[in-house]
Structure formats: C-alpha cells, structure tokens
Structure 1
Amino acid sequence: MNGIEVAANMAALASILLAGRNNVNTWWTGMLACTLFGFVFHASRLYAGMALQVFLVVTSALGWWSWLGGAKRAPLAVAHVAPVRVAAIFGAAAAGAALYGHGLALRTDAAAPYVDAVILAFSVTAQLLMMRRKVEAWPFWLLVNSVAVPLYASRGLWLTAALFGVFWVNALVSWRHWHRLARGPVAPGATRPGW
C-alpha cells in the first residue's frame, strides 16, 4: 500500500457515498479517485482497470454536466430502465468482457485478464446508467464490487479490496434508496429520461 492508493481510496469512498445519496459532487470526487487509481492499477498490471479509469474520468465530466441539467438546463430525475433493456444491456456487457479479456490474455502480461475485463465492461455499463440516473446502475455496481474484492486482494491491494467491500454495501443501500427516489415526485423542472 502506498500514498497514492490511500488517496485514491479516500476520494473514491467520498464519491461513492455521494453517488448513493444522489449528490452531484460524486462526479468531481470520482474524477480525482479515478486519476489516482489509474496509477495504482498500472503498477499492479491491471491494464483493463487502468483503461477503465480514463473512461471514468471522461464520463464523470459528462455525468456531472448531465446531472446539472446539461443542454436542457433541467436536472435528470432518478428513473428505471425497462427489464427487457436491462437483459440486453447485461448481455452486451458480458460479450464485451469476454472479448476484451481475450484480447488482454493474448496481447499483454495482464495479471487476471478475464476478471479484470469483467470489472471494466460492467463498470462501463454501470457508469453509463448512473450518468442517466437509472436505478439499475446499482445492481451492475454490485456485480463489479463482488468481482473486484477478490481480484484486488489477490494483487495485494488490501485497502482497495476493503474499499470495494464497502462499495458493495453502499451499492445495496443505494439501490434501495434510488428505488424510493424513482417512485417519488419529480422536482420542478426535472425530467424523467426514457430508455
């Protein structure tokens, strides 16, 4: 464990707790955490995890803008994705994980190419759903966290593994909280985006 891993974990913890509370400050704290985790994962030969951090920084900027209302100037309300779409999204993420993992296995010295690729593909999916304030982002985060804890522990990233255990609990609590938000009234000027 080093100072960068500690700082990354602290920023990530703040970001995830803010996300669960539907707080827009989740995005800038997440950008900081992802930047730091990029260095941590590179040093641990978790290349999909490193690439994921670049994606997360960019999409966090877009998520921040979107949650503030984007071009419409109306903040997004928390809403659901139709179950048939969730199944299709899951299938696409699984296919992406298999393809990316295969590429990592063939072309790099990645420590755990397929497991790392699962984390990447399902994190991308969860992030895109979160950017649109979709309740279904949280079960995808639960899956990511379930896979990440043992992977990071196997690489000696004990603090990061523990943090992802906390993320697992937060995702479960946040999933329930966002269900309630999706049933509640829409704030004046907010929109419920369709998917």
Structure 2
Amino acid sequence: FYLVSIALAARNNIHTWWTGIIGTVLFSALFFKVQLYADVTLMVFYLGTSIYGWMYWKKGNALSPIRATAYKYIVLFTLSALVTTIIYGAILYWLTNAYAPFVDSAVLMFSVLAQLLLMKRRLETWIFWIVVDTLAVPLYISRELYLTGILYIGFWFNAWYGLYMWSKDTQKTKVTPTVKVKLS
C-alpha cells in the first residue's frame, strides 16, 4: 500500500492519500515492534496529514498549480527540522531504549517537512523525500528490515521521478517561488 501511495504522489494523484493511510497503519505496528519509536510517531503524524491531504485535495486543491517555495523558507524549514531532530533524538536517547534515536529522529523530522510540503503541492517536497529515503534505507537495514529497506530504495528512485515530474509541471506553468509580502 505504501509503495502504491508513493508512486501515486509522484504522479500527482489524489489516491495517494487513502492508500497511504492503509500503509501507515501497517508500518506503525512494524516500527513499534523493532523499537523505532520516532517512526511510530511519524506514522501517527502521517495518519493525520493523510486524512487532511485527502480532504484538501478532494476540495479541488489537487488542481492548483505545483509551486516552488522561496529559498529563505526552505532554509528556515531545514534549520527547524535539524534543531528538532537533535532535541527529539536526545529525548529518545535519554528516556527510551530507542535504536539509533538521532537518525530515527532525522527520518521523522524531515519526513514531517516533506509531508507538509506535499500537502501544499510544493516542488521541494521531493528533495526532502530524497534526504529521508537516503537516511531510512541504512537505518531499516540495520534493524534487519530488509524488505522495508528495499522498499525505501524504491521510494528514493520514485522521489527523483517525482522531482522530475513536478519540475516539469512547474516549468510548464511558469510558476515562480512565492513570497508573502505584508503591506502596512
């Protein structure tokens, strides 16, 4: 289900959301079993955002153009994800028996960022998914989750495909990065 969901996202298809919900529930149980608690937290987040994304796109927002995000916001988002990774990783390190708490937290935080950008149809979502998949593959393989590791290798290739497809769409509509200007 997760594989189908990710493939549909790269193709800008609304069915990415309900298939993702099913995949999320299944992965939650798996990650809890192998003590990847940040990934369990991520699955709970995915469940909520998948429901939101489904409703958001269903209201016609799936037809809105894919847009690039202003560089300053990408820097701000990235720094926020890094700081939160360190804080959450430290909490897991000191308070749980979590395996690889900092790498697991990085997968969590950059996935959150990528998911939020995906919901709002932002081109940079795919760059962050590439980062997530690059971190996730060795993490999952280190926990002997070989099938999950192979799946995330597929996600990595799909993220490159999504970046290509969404870039093509963005160039077609000649959309420039958005910057909100507050007029006083």
TM-score of the superposed pair, with normalisation by structure 1: 0.87
The CA distance in 2 between the partners of 1:69 and 1:194, in whole Å, is 24
Q: How does 1:117-156 map to 2 (within 5 A)?
A: 117-156=105-144
5+ residue gaps, structure 2: none
The CA distance in 1 between the partners of 2:67 and 2:121, in whole Å, is 6
Letter in 2 for 1:93: A
After superposition, what is the alpha-carbon deviation per residue over 1:9-64, rounded to whole angstroms, capped at 9, x for unaligned?
Answer: xx110000000000010000001101100000000000000111010010001111
Q: How does 1:59-70 map to 2 (within 5 A)?
A: 59-69=49-59
Letter in 1 for 2:49: T
Contact 1:101–1:114, Cα closer than 8 Å, also in 2: yes
The yes-or-no answer on 1:53 pairing with 2:43 is: yes
The CA distance in 1 between the partners of 2:178 and 2:77, in whole Å, is 17
The yes-or-no answer on 1:173 pairing with 2:161 is: yes
The CA distance in 2 between the partners of 1:37 and 1:79, in whole Å, is 30
Q: 1:194 to 1:60 in 2, by over 3 A?
A: farther
Letter in 2 for 1:15: S
Deviation at residue 194 of structure 1 after TM alignment: 6.6
TM-score of the superposed pair, with normalisation by structure 2: 0.92
Runs of 4+ in structure 1 deviating by more than 4 angstroms, as ranges, are 192-195
The yes-or-no answer on 1:163 pairing with 2:148 is: no
Contact 2:66–2:169, Cα closer than 8 Å, also in 1: yes
Q: 1:45 to 1:31 in 2, by over 3 A?
A: same
The CA distance in 2 between the partners of 1:95 and 1:68, in whole Å, is 34
The yes-or-no answer on 1:35 pairing with 2:43 is: no
Identical columns (%): 40
Letter in 2 for 1:37: F
Partner of 1:21: 11
The yes-or-no answer on 1:78 pairing with 2:42 is: no
Letter in 2 for 1:174: G
Contact 2:67–2:178, Cα closer than 8 Å, also in 1: yes
Contact 1:139–1:171, Cα closer than 8 Å, also in 2: yes
The yes-or-no answer on 1:93 pairing with 2:81 is: yes
Letter in 2 for 1:38: S
Q: 1:69 to 1:184 in 2, by over 3 A?
A: farther
Q: How does 1:103-114 map to 2 (within 5 A)?
A: 103-114=91-102
Letter in 1 for 2:13: N
